[in-house]
Chains A and B, each alone.
Chain A
Amino acid sequence: MSNPQLVMYDEEFQEINDVIGRLLKEANAKVIFLVDKNGQLISGVGETERFDTTSLASLTAGNIAATGGLAKLIGEKEFSILFHEGEKDNLHISIVGGRVILVVLFDSRSSLGLVRLRVKKSSEELSTIFEKLMKKSEEREKRGSSEFPFAEITDDDIDNLFS
């Protein structure tokens, strides 16, 4: 079955940003992104304004999906870590908690070993936060989504978007 809808709340958003903010410093990275497996950007820290983050998120998810397809063809569940080496900048991409993608962009001021080590620790913390988030969403769904912002929109609201 497909993944359930991802809902992000302020509290968890802050926690996530704290974790990746710390990772940015500890791994000496330039930018760190968190992306949903469906290609939606969740958050980013570091020199994010230098990059087209939306495209980056979409291509990362496509990349993970494609390598995931490759993995299945050879009988693996998934490839949980991808590493792309460039002349100056490198990308370390890993899957966190089975559903989100952590992208670390770094240059020669850091090293693959350091990034891998720090990512491992942060991944565990992030997994815990996302598990909490999923539980929260499920609970809220069970209670009925009265606070859901779209429950009260009217046809006019929708039409106005296109006027």
Chain B
Amino acid sequence: MSFINYASREINCKIVYYGPGLCGKTTNLQFVYQKTAPDAKGKMISLATETERTLFFDFLPLSLGEIRGFKTRFHLYTVPGQVFYDASRKLILKGVDGVVFVADSQEERIDANIESLENLRINLKEQGYDLDKLPYIVQYNKRDLPNVMTVEELRRELNPTNVPEFEACATTGEGVFETLKAVAKLILIDLKKGK
């Protein structure tokens, strides 16, 4: 849940990037980190294994500017995608304000995508959230690879509720900021409603 501080006139929100192992969650954050002005970002923290697989989470604080005199800050987190890190994934979802599901567009990863999405729903439910009521975006990543499924096929499997979706290539940065802006906007609209 967002944290509103009237004393320091700040509003803090938490965005979590979810998805199967090696789908590009960390790469999304790394691109955002590289392309953000130094005064708008904090240090990026990656708790990763020696082979650079996410072990617990990546964390990137961003400061977007002011709305009506309130500084808006977004804290971006990724979860570890590998199946056996489920206990850690649950912890990171605590207090989430918005979710980005990063799907791996490659044909051979469709089962992993479906499993991860199912896992997201279950873990959110355990924390008392409903994915259909949260600010939620789907990103089809790795569009540059040759063996990808079409967006129509991916949508049928991964986005039946038709939430906003973006095609991306996180390594080159295509679609990365579009995804982030979209989820941030949904969160702010939610706040506006006073949820």
Which residues of A pack against B, CB within 8 Å? 1-10, 13-14, 36-40, 42, 52, 54-55, 58-59, 62, 65-66, 68-69, 145, 148-153, 157-158, 160-162
Query: Is the Cβ of A150 less than 8 Å from the Cβ of B188?
Result: yes
B81 within 8 A of partner (CB)? no
Q: How many A-B residue pairs have CB under 8 A?
A: 128
Is the pair B95, A38 in contact by a Cβ cutoff of 8 Å? yes
Taking A38-B3, A162-B181 as contacts, is the C-beta distance between A153 and B68 under 8 angstroms?
A: yes
Besides the known contacts A54-B43, A62-B56, 20 further A-B residue pairs in the complex with CB atoms under 8 A apart: A3-B1, A8-B3, A10-B6, A14-B7, A36-B95, A38-B1, A38-B3, A38-B95, A54-B42, A55-B61, A59-B45, A59-B59, A65-B91, A65-B92, A65-B94, A66-B56, A150-B70, A158-B67, A158-B189, A162-B64
B94 touches A2 (CB 8 A): yes
Alpha-carbon distance A66/B188, docked complex (angstroms): 29
Find out whether the CB atom of B5 lies under 8 angstroms from the CB atom of A8.
yes
A6 touches B128 (CB 8 A): no
* Residues of chain A within 8 A of B70, CB atoms compared: 149-150
List chain A residues, Cβ under 8 A from B57: 62
One of B14, B42, B68, B185 near A152 (C-beta < 8 A): B68
Whether, in the assembled complex, B11 has its beta carbon less than 8 Å from a beta carbon of chain A, the answer is yes
Q: Is B194 an interface residue (CB 8 A)?
A: yes
Interface residues of B in 39-75 (CB under 8 A from A): 42-43, 45, 47, 56-57, 59, 61, 64-65, 67-70, 72, 75
B-side interface mostly:
mixed
Whole-angstrom distance between the Cβ of A34 and the nearest chain B Cβ = 11
A69 to B189, CA, bound (A): 33
> Once the chains bind, are A2 and B1 in contact (CB under 8 Å)?
yes
B87 contacts partner chain A, Cβ-Cβ < 8 Å = yes
* CB of B31 closer than 8 Å to a CB of A: no
B contact residues around A160 at 8 Å (CB): 65
CB of B40 to closest CB in A, whole Å: 11
A161 in contact with B72 given A8-B4, A58-B45, A148-B194 (CB within 8 Å): yes
Instruction: Please tell me if B88 contacts chain A, counting CB pairs below 8 Å.
Output: yes
25 pairs, A vs B, C-beta closer than 8 Å: A2-B95, A3-B1, A6-B3, A8-B4, A8-B5, A9-B6, A10-B7, A13-B6, A13-B8, A37-B94, A38-B3, A39-B59, A40-B75, A58-B59, A58-B75, A59-B45, A69-B91, A149-B4, A150-B188, A151-B194, A152-B68, A153-B67, A161-B67, A162-B64, A162-B185
Q: Is the CB–CB distance between B94 and A5 below 8 Å?
A: no
**A163–chain B nearest beta-carbon distance, Å:** 9
The residues of B that contact A42 with a CB separation of less than 8 Å are 3, 5
Q: Is the CB of B3 within 8 A of A5?
A: yes
Whether the pair B75, A39 counts as a contact (CB closer than 8 A) is yes
Chain B positions 148-172 with a Cβ under 8 Å from a chain A Cβ = none
Q: Is B191 among interface residues, defined by CB-CB distance under 8 A?
A: yes
